[in-house]
């Protein structure tokens, strides 16, 4: 990893969504999402509960297929990208789940190195070195032998981020990375995500309820309302927004809610 | 998540609607189980590479079932002799050996051990995979380009399929010796253990043991694929995990009995 003073490598990939729709049992959750994310950009998606933020991430990572619309990652149509064997993929995408989703039966080191070991592209000593390095990046040295159940919620989130970083991804998706965390841990996670942008230049998309966090770290903030992006602007532009939902969010954030 | 928030409130269906929905559920479970079975068989090509995970699962199956399996088998063997001796006292006690031997190798050993495997190891598989599904661990594997079938299902499938025939042999052996113990110590039985074993060896053929082992292979597949199917289709938090675990055991028992009948019927048809 490069030091914070160096220029970002901007090795991230661009993401483009056009008219993405997704329904469940007749209820339309995503109603035509259009969104472009630049390479190396940090985009936050905010919105009320139940507006489809997590659903949107699941379409982008390929866990679900949209009913309609097109998703392009790094110039490749998503289905084409997903069909490429892991060892031949031109770039990597990683996701940090809301509850960290660490494998309970594996230690921290095994969790972090899981993808590397399974894809067998690295020697065991290289994997060890990567695990050590990414755990240092998230300030969790010395936890290698611990099980997820022995860690706090904030530590589990950081292990999940380390697991994502282990494959040096070009695109990282975060689903509510600060949910259930206290303000100090929230700030730490925010700083960590900011450092990843500075040092690695990966494209990052964060789904969050936490508008102050989004304003502090994101290049742009997209507001999702009833399955559509109703606004996508820089934090400064967002502060002057006249969009009703954005104003609501800003008022709630000002009250510390 | 949004789905729960926006999901429609279902209308309460009538009796025919409920029957139809139940039938569709059954077909869906069977379809998913068949599909997972196919995927697990295909993933078995990776056993040489993933042998460590298979061994870990075999050890788990063994530790889950060996002690209780021994207890169950010894008592079943003993009860068989006591019950049969009471009926045969006036007729011919020399058939005690064949009765215990044939019952254990052809029927009781396979079915008992399969139930035990499904109840102990199978329920653990359903609960573990159910928990992993609910807490997004399975999805995390998918996002890491790791096939959950190869990583989680295949080792359990191969371990159960290989372990169950071995457990059946173990159960046959202990059950037969349980019967011998009663023959040896019960003063009401006028049969020596030598006669018990001699008559058993006359009547129990290698093919009888093989039928038990074939059942073991089949039941091992059922007792792993069915729990894994229910584990992977778990929805709705801890309650969902509990439901999946119970359903996995019940379905495994039913399918084991159905396939037991089919194998027995098939073997008689061949004979």
Q: Chain B: residue nearest A115 by CA?
A: B144
Of A25, A29, A115, the CB nearest to B144: A115
- Pick the residue of A64, A85, A103 with the most B CBs within 10 A to test the interface with B by mutation: A103
CATH code assigned to A15-254: 3.40.50.300
Long-range CB contacts (< 8 A, 24+ apart) of A140-145?
Answer: A140/A108, A143/A108, A144/A107, A144/A108, A144/A109, A145/A107, A145/A108, A145/A109
What confidence score (pLDDT) does residue A3 get?
38
Q: Is residue B182 part of a domain?
A: yes
Beta A27-37 vs A15-24: how paired, if at all? antiparallel
In terms of Cα–Cα distance, which of A148, A111, A149 is closest to A130?
A111
How many domains does one find in chain B? 1
Predicted confidence (pLDDT) at residue B188 exceeds the cutoff of 70: yes
Can you give the three-state secondary structure of chain A, one letter per residue?
A: CCCCCCCCCCCCCCEEEEEEEEEECCEEEEEEEEEEECCCCEEEEECCCCCCHHHHHHHHHCCCCCCEEEEEECCEEHHHHHHCCHHHCCCCEEEECCCCCCCCCCCHHHHHHHHHHHHCCCCHHHHHHHHHHHHHHCCCCCCCCCCHHHCCHHHHHHHHHHHHHCCCCCEEEEECCCCCCCHHHHHHHHHHHHHHHHHHCCEEEEEECCHHHHHHHCCEEEEEECCEEEEEECHHHHHCCCCHHHHHHHHHHHCCC
Three-class DSSP category at B200: helix
* Between residues B174 and A242, the one the model is more confident about: B174
Of B2, B8, B145, the CB nearest to A51: B2
Q: Note whether A55 contacts B3, CB cutoff 8 Å.
A: yes
Q: Chain A: residue nearest B152 by CA?
A: A103
Q: Note whether B7 contacts A62, CB cutoff 8 Å.
A: no
- Pick the residue of B5, B129, B145 with the most A CBs within 10 A to test the interface with A by mutation: B145
Q: Domain range for residue B192?
A: 27-270
Contact B152, B51 (CB under 8 A): no
Residue numbers of B between 3 and 32 with CB closer than 8 Å to A: 3-8
Q: Note whether B143 contacts A62, CB cutoff 8 Å.
A: yes
Predicted confidence (pLDDT) at residue B247 exceeds the cutoff of 50: yes
Of B6, B135, B143, the CB nearest to A27: B6
What confidence score (pLDDT) does residue A10 get?
56
Predicted confidence (pLDDT) at residue B139 exceeds the cutoff of 60: yes
Q: Note whether B143 contacts A26, CB cutoff 8 Å.
A: no
What confidence score (pLDDT) does residue B9 get?
60
- Full DSSP string of B229-268: HHHHT--SHHHHHHHHHHHHHHHHHHHHHHHHHHHHHHHH
Q: Is residue B38 part of a domain?
A: yes
Q: Which chain A residues are Cβ-neighbours of B124 within 8 angstroms?
A: none
What confidence score (pLDDT) does residue B10 get?
60
ipTM, 2 dp: 0.89
Direct distance between the N- and C-terminal alpha carbons of chain A, in angstroms, rounded to an integer: 36
Query: pLDDT 10s digit of each residue in chain A, 257 long?
Result: 333 444 445 577 899 999 999 999 889 999 999 999 999 999 999 988 888 999 999 999 999 999 999 999 999 999 999 999 988 899 999 999 999 999 999 999 999 999 999 988 889 999 999 999 999 999 999 999 999 999 998 999 999 999 999 999 999 999 999 888 888 888 889 999 999 988 888 999 999 988 889 999 999 999 998 899 999 999 999 888 888 888 887 887 777 65
Q: Is residue B22 part of a domain?
A: no
pLDDT (tens digit, 9 = 90+) per residue, A163-217?
A: 999 999 999 999 999 888 888 888 889 999 999 988 888 999 999 988 889 999 9
Contact A41, A221 (CB under 8 A): no
Contact B10, A26 (CB under 8 A): no
Q: Note whether B6 contacts A54, CB cutoff 8 Å.
A: no
Tell whether B208 is within 8 A of chain A (Cβ): no
Q: Where are the alpha helices (DSSP H) in B44-153?
A: 51-88, 96-102, 109-117, 123-134, 137-143, 148
């Amino acid at each position: 990893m490069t030091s914070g003073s160096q220029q970002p490598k901007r090795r991230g990939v661009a993401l483009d969504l056009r008219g993405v729709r997704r329904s469940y049992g007749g209820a339309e959750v995503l109603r035509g999402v259009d969104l472009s994310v630049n390479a190396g950009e940090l985009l936050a998606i905010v919105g009320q509960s139940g507006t489809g933020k997590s659903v949107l991430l699941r379409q982008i990572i390929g866990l679900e297929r949209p009913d309609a619309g097109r998703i392009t990652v790094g110039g490749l149509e998503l289905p084409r990208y997903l069909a490429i064997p892991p060892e031949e993929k031109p770039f990597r995408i990683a996701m940090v789940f809301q509850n960290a989703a660490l494998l309970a039966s594996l230690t921290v080191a095994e969790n972090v190195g899981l993808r590397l070991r399974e894809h067998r592209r690295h020697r065991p000593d290289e994997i060890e070195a990567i695990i050590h390095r990414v755990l240092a990046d998230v300030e969790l040295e010395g936890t290698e032998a611990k099980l997820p159940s022995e860690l706090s919620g904030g530590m589990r989130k950081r292990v999940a981020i380390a697991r994502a970083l282990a494959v040096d991804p070009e695109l990282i998706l975060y689903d509510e990375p600060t949910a259930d965390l206290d303000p100090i841990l929230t700030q730490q996670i925010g700083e960590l995500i900011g450092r990843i942008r500075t040092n690695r230049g990966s494209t990052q998309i964060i789904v969050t309820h936490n508008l102050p966090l989004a304003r502090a770290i994101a290049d742009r903030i997209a507001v999702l309302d009833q399955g559509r992006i109703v606004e996508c602007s820089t934090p400064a532009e967002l502060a002057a927004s006249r969009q009703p939902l954005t104003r609501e969010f800003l008022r709630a954030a000002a009250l510390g809610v | 998540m949004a789905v729960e928030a926006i999901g429609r409130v279902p209308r309460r269906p009538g009796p025919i609607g409920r029957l139809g929905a139940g039938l569709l559920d059954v077909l869906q479970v069977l379809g998913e189980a068949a599909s997972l079975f196919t995927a697990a068989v295909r993933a078995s090509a990776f056993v040489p590479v993933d042998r460590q995970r298979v061994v870990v699962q075999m050890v788990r199956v063994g530790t889950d079932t060996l002690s209780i399996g021994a207890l169950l088998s010894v008592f079943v063997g003993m009860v068989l002799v006591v019950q049969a001796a009471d009926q045969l006292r006036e007729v011919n006690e020399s058939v005690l050996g064949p009765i215990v031997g044939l019952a254990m190798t052809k029927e009781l050993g396979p079915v008992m051990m399969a139930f035990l495997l499904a109840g102990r190891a199978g329920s653990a598989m359903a609960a573990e995979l159910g928990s992993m599904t609910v807490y997004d661990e399975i999805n995390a594997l998918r996002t890491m380009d790791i096939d959950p079938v190869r990583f989680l299902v295949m080792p359990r499938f191969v371990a159960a399929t290989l372990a169950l025939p071995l457990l059946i042999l173990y159960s046959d052996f202990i059950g037969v010796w349980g019967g011998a113990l009663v023959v040896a110590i019960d003063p009401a039985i006028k049969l020596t253990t030598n006669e018990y074993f001699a008559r058993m060896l006359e009547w129990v053929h290698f093919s009888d043991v093989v039928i038990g082992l074939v059942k073991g292979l089949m039941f091992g597949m059922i007792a792993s694929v069915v729990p894994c199917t229910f584990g992977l289709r778990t929805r709705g938090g801890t309650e969902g995990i509990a439901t999946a675990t119970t359903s996995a055991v019940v379905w495994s028992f039913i399918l084991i009995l159905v396939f037991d009948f089919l194998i027995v019927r098939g073997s008689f048809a061949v004979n």
